């Protein structure tokens, strides 16, 4: 009799259910989604959720996902951002193949569609300024008033729109608006702007255009042109859907994609607004878009996060219709879970204290065996040098230690990981009374960490051989903000909650010599310290720099528990 519990697949989220049903009913022969970033900044963890959803849902249904840059605001966009976004997507494990597009590819077509709306009497050139337009738009309880320019003839509007295109109007003088319903309960349907004058050079089209289409006009038509079947976007665009549908229905386009909204990723102890991230970069509050404290994909990559951990995190939080907050600890646990079974263990001393084994032969060195992963013997072993002079972690020694301190203290015996039992016999201090060196004796019979007479020690500490250690800089990264919701209070700047301890730079660390061959793609667990990797930007052979990816445990969870009490 088979008593195994049958494996069950995870239920499909509501978007994937819609797609599966559309395939089953033959509403669509092939599924096409798109990821449409604006190239005005680097991608962040919130974008990762959309990327995984759009590319994942398409791949699962043998469809395609397009990468389309929404480049309709040239004053804030650049090719630098375009290339950074491509790099992040490839790093995350997704490829768009031949389906790379830009909204600017369609500028001629979009202009023609705008002309068609004018010819249909569905769009007009309006000379109200911004403040007047807001006044005419009305309130939540009062309908808007029609613009005095709303009744212009088709011929006049066509001529004015052509003049807009030819650069005959300055910025802010006039716009092209859709003619919909000034009494609509949805503000976006109260004659929204479709085109505005912007005399700014575009990173792809140069100075060909001095008018640029608005997002709501561009997006639906770009989806239509590319035969997108499911236009997936976050909940803040739910109010935009009627306008999305109005444009396509009014123009009677041959393809009408379905816009579906899902809850965006909100994660605590961070900000994901590109405007606010850019503020941090421009004010040099971080070192750049790829600062490892930033939850940009480039920052996470440099920090040492793996693509698999990001994808697992996005899969784990799911796709829903209701806004919610995700704890930063879930993201940190995703990288811990990814690295724990795979990252080789090494010895690293971050705050070194010198130890001299006084009864060990001078000028002698031996090699000891160490497991690369104690829980995974298949990862093999390595050798580490042992000599008379060592470094241990300063925090592993304490004068006048209490009974429950099981590490090194004068007169106490501890185990050196993979090496010997040692006993501290003398403490050397400098003229200021600071401990600078320990003298110890070792028991040669305890090689490998066990005593033949069966005696036990409660403490095991890590170490490196002083003569062989690799000197390195280590950067200890922590959360960028101390406040769980740093931008919640609109009266207080989110920058007031920057964590002063989010980066600690240690310049005199000593690591086991095997790390001299570490590459950017490698990840390690420094035993008892956390997970680390080489910094991809600043590390040099003559000056190695390691980043802490994440601690071994979530120290913030304990802090949160104390605060609740």
Catalytically annotated residues: 38, 264, 274
Give the Cα separation of 490 and 398 in Å (integer). 47
Task: Return all residues near 286 (Cβ < 8 A) that are at least 6 apart.
Answer: 280, 293, 294, 480
Report yes or no: 110 and 217 within 8 Å, Cβ to Cβ: yes
Measured CA to CA in angstroms, residue 343 lies from 317, 370, 449, 470 at distances of 24, 15, 23, 19
Length of the chain: 565
Phi, psi of 386, rounded to the nearest 5 degrees: -130, 135
Put residue 191 in one of left, alpha, beta given phi > 0 → left and psi -120 to 50 → alpha.
Answer: left
Give the Cα separation of 124 and 424 in Å (integer). 87
DSSP code of residue 213: E
Give the Cα separation of 209 and 218 in Å (integer). 15
Q: Is the dihedral of CA 228, 230, 231, 232 positive or negative?
A: negative
Give the Cα separation of 452 and 243 in Å (integer). 80
The CA angle 272-277-281, to the nearest 5 degrees, is: 160
Strand ranges in 372-502 using DSSP code E only, listed in sequence order? 381-387, 389-393, 413-416, 421-429, 435-443, 460-461, 463-465, 470-477
Report yes or no: 350 and 392 within 8 Å, Cβ to Cβ: no
Give the Cα separation of 355 and 128 in Å (integer). 79
CA end-to-end span of the chain: 51
Q: Looking up tokens 């930007």, which residue turns up? A: 537
Q: At how many degrees (to 10) do helices 328-339 and 555-564 cross?
A: 150
Give the Cα separation of 217 and 422 in Å (integer). 74
């Amino acid at each position: 009799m088979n008593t195994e519990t049958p494996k069950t697949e995870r239920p499909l989220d509501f978007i994937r259910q819609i797609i599966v049903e559309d395939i089953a009913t033959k509403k669509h022969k092939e599924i096409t989604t798109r990821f449409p970033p604006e190239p005005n900044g680097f991608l962040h963890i919130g974008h990762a959720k959309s990327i995984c959803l759009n590319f994942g849902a398409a791949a699962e249904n043998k469809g395609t996902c397009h990468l389309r840059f929404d480049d309709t605001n040239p004053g804030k966009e650049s090719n630098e951002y375009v290339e950074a976004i491509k790099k992040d997507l490839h790093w995350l494990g997704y490829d768009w193949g031949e389906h790379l597009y830009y909204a600017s590819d369609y500028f001629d077509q979009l202009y023609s569609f705008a002309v068609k709306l004018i010819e249909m009497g569905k769009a007009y050139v309006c000379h109200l300024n911004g403040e007047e337009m807001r006044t005419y738009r009305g309130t939540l309880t009062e309908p808007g008033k029609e613009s005095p320019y709303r009744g212009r003839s088709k011929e006049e509007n066509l001529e004015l729109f052509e003049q807009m295109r030819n650069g005959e109007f300055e910025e802010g003088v006039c716009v092209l608006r859709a003619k919909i319903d000034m009494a609509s309960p949805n503000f976006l349907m109260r004659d929204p702007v479709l085109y505005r004058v912007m005399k700014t050079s575009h990173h792809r089209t140069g100075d060909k255009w001095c008018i640029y289409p608005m997002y709501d006009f561009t997006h639906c038509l770009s989806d239509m042109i590319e035969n997108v079947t499911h236009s997936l976007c976050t909940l803040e665009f739910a109010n935009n859907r009627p306008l999305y549908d109005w444009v396509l229905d009014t123009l009677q386009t041959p393809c009408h994609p379905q816009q579906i909204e899902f809850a965006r990723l909100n994660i605590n102890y961070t900000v994901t607004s590109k405007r606010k991230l850019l503020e941090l970069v421009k004010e040099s509050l971080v070192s750049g878009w790829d600062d490892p404290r930033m939850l940009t994909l480039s920052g996470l990559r440099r920090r040492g996060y793996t693509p698999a951990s990001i994808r697992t995190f996005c899969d784990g939080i799911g796709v829903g219709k209701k806004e919610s907050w995700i704890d930063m600890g879930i993201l940190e646990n995703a990288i811990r879970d990814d690295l724990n079974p795979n990252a080789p263990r090494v010895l690293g001393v971050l705050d070194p204290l010198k130890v001299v084994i006084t009864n060990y032969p001078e000028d002698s060195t031996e090699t000891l065996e160490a497991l690369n992963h104690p829980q995974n013997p298949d990862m093999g072993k390595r050798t580490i040098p042992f000599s008379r002079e060592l470094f241990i972690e300063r925090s592993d020694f304490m004068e006048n230690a209490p009974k429950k301190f099981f590490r090194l203290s004068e007169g106490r015996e501890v185990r050196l990981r993979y090496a010997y039992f040692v006993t501290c016999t003398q403490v050397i201090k400098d003229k200021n009374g600071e401990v600078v060196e320990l003298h110890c004796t070792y028991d040669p019979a305890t090689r490998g960490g066990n005593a033949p007479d069966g005696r036990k020690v409660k403490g095991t500490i890590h170490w490196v051989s002083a003569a062989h250690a690799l000197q390195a800089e280590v950067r200890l990264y922590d959360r960028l903000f101390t406040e769980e919701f740093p931008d919640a209070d609109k009266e207080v700047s989110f920058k007031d909650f920057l964590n002063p301890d989010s980066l600690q730079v240690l310049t005199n660390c000593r690591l086991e010599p095997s790390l001299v061959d570490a590459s950017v793609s490698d990840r390690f667990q420094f035993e008892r310290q956390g997970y680390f990797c080489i910094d991809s930007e600043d590390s040099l052979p003559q000056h190695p720099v390691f980043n802490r990816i994440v601690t071994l445990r979530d120290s913030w969870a304990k802090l949160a528990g104390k605060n609740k009490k």
